[in-house]
Structure 1
């Protein structure tokens, strides 16, 4: 009834997907922690209207691998960089951090 090769391929795909998800979650957690360590401003960003307004746009940015860039997201990037001037996070890292706020 079931082809063993197909079942093995499905299991391997599931394992690879779980590892990729784990990597993304670890990356997101590290970015969040680095933002929190910077003068404790992560909690203020969590309540910031400019940053929260860009959450959906951040998802589109990440999903499109940076191809979709909106005005709201650019404003959030600029706002975060003004708030955290010592931050050296990339746009992708900032977008992922916005998603987990």
Structure 2
């Protein structure tokens, strides 16, 4: 009976380790994917709008937007978001991603 308990405990430990490793892999993949998406947006924005007056004027509003988790939306940020989406209609990015990209300029 003692041997059966030992084998059962070993099997449970092996299963738990496998589940934890799989969970870690999925979590890591999701995090890396999200960061890559943000990085791609930032790259597109910085290469296209680094000297754009409308976008540069929205930096302070973008900082308030990011710091307030999207609660504060200034007029200059709204104008910049509209301007960016008009120039890059294929860009699939959230307002938060665009605001963070504006901050990198």
TM-score category by the smaller chain? 0.5 to 0.7
Task: Verify: 1:29 aligned to 2:39, yes or no.
Answer: yes
Distance in 2 between residues matched to 1:43 and 1:30, nearest whole Å: 11
Which of these residues, 88, 97, 101, is aligned with residue 101 of structure 2? 97
CA shift digits 1:10-56 (9 cap, x unpaired): xxxxxxxxxxxxx8xx56534223x16xxxxx434010000000001
Partner of 1:61: 65
* Partner of residue 53, structure 2: 49
Query: SS where residue 47 of structure 1 aligns?
Result: coil
TM-score by structure 1 length? 0.63
Stretches of 4+ aligned residues off by more than 4 angstroms: none
Unaligned runs of 5+ in 2: 1-31
Q: Flag the structure with higher helix content.
A: 2
Cα offset, 1:96, TM superposition: 0.3
Which is greater in Rg? 2
Number of matched residues? 71
TM-score, reference length from structure 2: 0.61
